[in-house]
Amino acid sequence: MTRASTAPKIVLGALLLLALTVVILYLVPSNDYLLLPDKAHPVAPLVTVQGGRNPHDGGGIYFVDVFERRASVFERLFPWVHTGASLVPASLIVPPGVSDQAVREADIRAMTLSQRIAAAVALRRLGYRVVARPGGVVVAELESTSRANGKVRLGDVIVRVDGAPTGTVAQLRNAMAKIRPGQTVTLTLRRGGKRLTVRVETMADPADARRAIIGFAPEQAAQITLPIKVRIDVGNVGGPSAGLAFALEVMEKLGRDVDHGYRVAATGQIELNGGVAAIGGIKQKTYGVRAAHADVFLVPVAGDNAKDAQHYADGLRIIPVKTFAQALHALATLPRKH
């Protein structure tokens, strides 16, 4: 056998070995998660309002979510193979000691609450009488460095800090303002039908070393009574970030021309007072809005969301918003669409 005849076999063998290696790396999971864009979806088919209607003006409200899944070893090494993807540590998605199922259930609870808050905010804006009673602060996410891990769980509702009532997020912040970083606080919380008390050492806020935090993302718990029936069905999508889009669509259904003929994408956690709070995955969401060919994208000012979205906009018009009222005003002052 000549050297010339063995060379192709060596090359072929090397290529097969490389292909096998790539396949194996693709099948083996890593310890990181991959955030992937999902094309923005129209909200209209998902929202039903008693006495409402579907306008047909060529526009529409869109919400956008993010695909989260564990990355393979190959994707961890080469995340850029997916357009718009980001690689994040697993601890940011599933905190230590918390199961994937618990995180999923917390996301679904957050989505359900965001839907009712969105309906309440929209109906109040239209003059309806809405009854909303704050019911404490929900633990939406736990930071991996929080000393509360193992004591506090996702979905717990904190009702007191050192005996001080925390019916709202603002009350929680006021209670924590009296605490120094490193001090231990007593948390009274609801978990299912039980009432529990735990002690947790606080930590310093990375953004302000003088401020004590527990190390979790707070969301408002509330008992909301709506004057008319509003149903929002997004299937298995979780999280609170579509609240702003839901609120806009409820107003559309009840005859308010919110989109003014534009294809309006919106993201942001809506609060009972109409504030629009920061959300995660803004890079992927901006890519998803671009894929849907929306005209404008309403994005929270909070958390530098709007600033970050602008970085990935590639010509998409980003409208920064702080409140629901501001979002409505921004849309109302858009030039007439031809």
Predicted confidence at residue 284, as pLDDT, reads: 95
Predicted confidence at residue 265, as pLDDT, reads: 97
Per the structure, how many domains does the chain have?
A: 2
Picking from 222, 243, 267, the residue at the C-terminal end of a domain is 222
- 310 shares a domain with 177: no
Mean pLDDT of the region 250-256: 94
CA distance 85 to 35: 5
Query: Token pair of 137, please?
Result: 């602060």
Number of other residues whose CB lies within 10 A of the CB of residue 240: 27
Mean pLDDT of the region 296-304: 94
- 267 shares a domain with 140: no
- 117 shares a domain with 57: yes
User: How much of the chain, in percent, has pLDDT values that exceed 90?
Assistant: 49
Query: Token pair of 146, please?
Result: 């929080």
Predicted confidence at residue 291, as pLDDT, reads: 96
Q: Which residues, in sequence order, are CB contacts of 82 under 8 Å at separation 6+?
A: 34, 36, 75
* 46 secondary structure, DSSP code: G
Predicted confidence at residue 1, as pLDDT, reads: 47
Tell me the pLDDT tens digit for each residue of 192-222.
889 999 999 999 988 788 899 999 888 888 8
- Identify the burial level of 209 via C-beta atoms within 10 angstroms of its C-beta, where 0-12 means exposed, 13-18 middle and 19 or more buried: exposed
Mean pLDDT of the region 48-61: 85
- 155 shares a domain with 114: no
- Identify the burial level of 81 via C-beta atoms within 10 angstroms of its C-beta, where 0-12 means exposed, 13-18 middle and 19 or more buried: exposed
Picking from 166, 190, 222, the residue at the C-terminal end of a domain is 222
C-alpha 267: how far from chain center: 8
Q: Which of 262, 267, 263 is nearest to 285 (CA)?
A: 267
- 152 shares a domain with 67: no
Mean pLDDT of the region 54-81: 83
- 194 shares a domain with 144: yes
Q: Which residues, in sequence order, are CB contacts of 264 under 8 Å at separation 6+?
A: 59, 60, 61, 62, 248, 258, 294, 295, 296, 298, 331
- 235 shares a domain with 211: no
Q: How confident is the model at residue 14 (pLDDT cuts 50, 70, 90)?
A: low
- 138 shares a domain with 274: no
- 242 shares a domain with 115: yes
Q: How confident is the model at residue 70 (pLDDT cuts 50, 70, 90)?
A: confident
Number of other residues whose CB lies within 10 A of the CB of residue 108: 16
- Residue 141's CATH number: 2.30.42.10
- 118 shares a domain with 177: no
Instruction: Specify the pTM.
Output: 0.79
Q: What is the mean pLDDT of the chain?
A: 87
Picking from 207, 222, 237, the residue at the C-terminal end of a domain is 222
Mean pLDDT of the region 273-285: 91
* 275 secondary structure, DSSP code: B
Number of other residues whose CB lies within 10 A of the CB of residue 123: 22
* Domain with 155 in it: 131-222
- 126 shares a domain with 232: yes
DSSP characters for 197-246?
A: EEEEE-EEETTEEEEEE-SEEEEEEEEEE-SS-EEE--TT--SSTTHHHH
Strands 317-321, 296-300: parallel, antiparallel or unpaired by DSSP?
parallel
Q: How confident is the model at residue 53 (pLDDT cuts 50, 70, 90)?
A: confident
Choose between 131 and 57: higher pLDDT.
Answer: 131
- 95 shares a domain with 65: yes
- Residue 311's CATH number: 3.30.230
Tell me the pLDDT tens digit for each residue of 82-122.
889 888 887 777 766 666 777 777 777 778 888 889 999 99
Residue 69 has pLDDT above 50, yes or no: yes
Q: Which residues, in sequence order, are CB contacts of 199 under 8 Å at separation 6+?
A: 151, 184, 185, 186, 187
